[in-house]
Amino acid sequence: MLSADPPRGVRRPRKRTDDVAGLGHARAGLFVAPALAIVGLFLVFPAVWTLYLGMTNYRLTGLAAAEPEFVGIDNFTQALGDDAFWSSLGLTLVFVLLSGVIGQTLLGFSVAWALRHVTGWVKTLIETLVLAAWVIPASVASFLWLALLDRRNGTLNELLGTDGMAWLIEYPMASIIVFNIWVGTAFSMLLFSSALAAVPPSQMESARMVGATSWQQLRDVVVPNIKGHILTNTLLITLWTFNTFTPYLLTAGGPRGESEILAVYIYRTAIPGGQLGMGAAISLIMLVINLVIALGYLRVARGTGTKS
């Protein structure tokens, strides 16, 4: 029989704590404190500061730069009542949908799917090329694209024999969409490569044995198996594409705001436009949209009950 009392001479076990690690609240709190401090300093504080700025008429220069006045929700109502904001939001949604959700996801998945049986140097070469687009600094990448799309002697015009075509002016949205697909495909490709590697080969072969076509294998075996990965990928890509500023380096939002996605719109309002308070207000709206998107995905992810 086990006795409740420890025998004499044996040290009493330390008082049990109710947390898993057995540290006690005080010491556990001490361990997470540095992380919490950093999160607070670099995430919570800027967010709160943005909220504050958004409610002032803070400007880059002039009187309001020295003594900003509190204006309440004026900035927000003004932004939401401004056609420029709504047109920018519309462009952003098109940009996210075409370049992120559809372009990067589909292209990344296609490359991963095509490469799943390829091994050796061919695979390494293609992966390196795709990855290069991702790891090249944005300033360098945009310079490469400016050279590619240049009106005079641009590589694309040389290839197509369309000398004098100003792609960035004639097709600004198409240009930044293709550019962003080019930049971001690597991430989807890597994520889907590992996801596809985790699909049990025997399930694919079971489908093949009953005569399923590649399309049916994809629909019935692959997609259900990697549903979690697809959601994660779409969430990350959506947020990244929503917030990206790099297209500014290609078109600067122009011509006439035709490629002025939200991040660019905020920049142009806040810095060249000098309205820091207004910029902060739109930033906060953008943050809320991000949160809504993220929560929406999480809901879907939980609803499907998938792992990963």
Partner 1 sequence: MSAITTTALVKEYPGGVRGVDGIDVTIEDGEFFALLGPSGCGKTTLLRSIAGLEAITEGTLHIGERDVTNAQPGERGVAMVFQDYALFPHMDVGDNIAYPLKIRKVGRTERRKTATGIANGLSLDGLIERRPGQLSGGQQQRVALARAVATRPEVLLLDEPLSNLDARLRLEARTFLKELQRDLGVTTVFVTHDQAEALALADRIAVMKSGKLQQLGTPREVFGRPLNTFVAGFIGSTPMNLVTTTVADGGVRVGTATVPLPATAEGKVADGAAVVWGARPEYLRWSREPVDGGIPAEVSVTENLGASVLVSAHSGDVRLQLVLGEDDEPSPGDTGWVVATARRSLLFDAATTELIG
Q: Least distance in Å: CB of 228 to partner 1?
A: 11
Nearer to partner 1, 169 or 212 (CB): 212
Q: Least distance in Å: CB of 157 to partner 1?
A: 44
HSE of 210, CA atoms in CB hemisphere, 13 A: 9
Q: Least distance in Å: CB of 231 to partner 1?
A: 14
Q: Which residues bind partner 1 (CB under 8 A)?
A: 200, 202-203, 205-212, 216, 220-221, 224-225, 227
Q: Least distance in Å: CB of 256 to partner 1?
A: 49
Which residues, 6+ apart, have CB-to-CB distance to 150 below 8 Å? 157
Nearer to partner 1, 59 or 229 (CB): 229
Nearer to partner 1, 78 or 206 (CB): 206
Q: Least distance in Å: CB of 196 to partner 1?
A: 16
Q: Least distance in Å: CB of 204 to partner 1?
A: 9
Q: Least distance in Å: CB of 144 to partner 1?
A: 38
Nearer to partner 1, 206 or 243 (CB): 206
Q: Which two tokens stand for residue 1?
A: 């029989």
Nearer to partner 1, 26 or 215 (CB): 215
Residue 44 and residue 37: Cα distance in Å, rounded?
10
